[in-house]
Amino acid sequence: MTAPSNYRPAKADRIALVALMLLGAGIVVSSAVSFVSTTAAILGQGPHTVTANFFDLAGKLPLGPGGAEVSAGVVTATVNIPELVAPATGLLIAEAAVQFLAITTVIVCLVLLGQRALRGVFFGRGNTALIVTTGFAAIFGYMLPPILRQMGTTEALLDLSEGDFFNFMLALNPVQLFIAVFVFGIIATAYTVGSRVQRETEGLI
């Protein structure tokens, strides 16, 4: 672990870091409340409201004058399910859990990074590891929950339609993944380089 340096950030930077850490704590608390309430709702008595994605399911929407129906493709809709089957329950809880874990990991890593910055430690293998972990948690937290939700709602709708409606689609835009890799890659590499430069110059100061 990198030893704390003698340098301490300016007062304004310390206030900014503490404010951001408080914001992080608030986000974790809000996510935990959301996770617990979602899990309780999934495990509780029906009917359950699930949000399902469809691949342009043909439907009629009352959007015309006076509520007249117009043809449309339904992309997302919330559907009331009287009773959730076990696989749907498990998958929907897994979605909420992964989301919560990913957000918490991102926040904890960044809070630790902020804490190290407050101690004057900006670079070091520990900081690089924290940034890389943040990146991976953010990417998994963004990509995995929609897949789990889609699997869960597929099970629920299959049961609701008595095995007649198999609605599985994955709308994953790889460009978003590349953008995330690009952003986190550049920041993480900058941290790696900074650590090395710091190690090389330590003897000179």
Partner 1 sequence: MHVSKRAPAASPHRPAAVDRVTLYALIATGLAIGIERAIRLWNRVASITGPGPHRAPVTPRNLETVVQLGSGGGTQAEITTGTLKVAELSGPETGLLITQEVVTFLAIATIIVCLTLLARNTIRGTVFHRSNTALLTGAGLAAAAGYGAWTFFGQMASNEIISRLSVARPAVYGTSGDFMPYFLGLFAFGIVTVAYAVGARLQRETEGLV
Q: At what angle do helices 125-160 and 86-118 cross, to 10 degrees?
A: 160
Q: How far apart are CA 182 and CA 205, in angstroms?
A: 34
Map the footprint of partner 1 across residues 125-164, applying CB under 8 A.
131, 134, 138, 157, 160-162, 164
Closer Cβ to partner 1, 5 or 39, answer by number: 5
Q: Is 61 in the site for partner 1 (CB under 8 A)?
A: yes
Identify the burial level of 87 via C-beta atoms within 10 angstroms of its C-beta, where 0-12 means exposed, 13-18 middle and 19 or more buried: middle
CB 111 to partner 1: min, Å: 8
CB of 79 to partner 1, least distance (A): 5
* Structural Rg of the chain based on CA atoms: 23
Report the alpha-carbon distance of residue 80 to residue 172 in Å, rounded: 25
User: CB of residue 201 vs partner 1: minimum separation in angstroms?
Assistant: 7
CB of 107 to partner 1, least distance (A): 7
Q: Does 169 participate in binding partner 1 (rule CB under 8 A)?
A: no
20-to-111, 115, 143, 150, 188 alpha-carbon distances in Å: 8, 11, 25, 33, 20
Which of 2, 17, 87, 147 is the binder for partner 1 (CB under 8 A)?
17
Contact 66, 31 (CB under 8 A): no
Q: Encoding tokens for residue 199?
A: 């190690």
CA distance 22 to 90: 33
31-50 binders of partner 1 (CB under 8 A): none
Count of residues of this chain found to bind partner 1 when the rule CB under 8 A is applied: 79
Min separation Cβ 124 and partner 1, Å: 12
Tell me: does residue 168 bind partner 1 (CB under 8 A). Answer: no
Task: Sketch the per residue contact string, 70 through 109, with partner 1: x for CB under 8 A, - otherwise.
Answer: xxxxxxxxxxx----------------------x--xx--
Q: How far is the CB of 200 from partner 1 (least distance, A)?
A: 6
Among 1, 3, 44, 62, binds partner 1 (CB under 8 A): 62
Minimal CA–CA distance to 111: which of 119, 31, 141, 184?
119
Amino acid at 51: T
Residue located via tokens 């590499």: 189
Single residue of 38, 57, 87, 136 touching partner 1 by CB under 8 A: 57
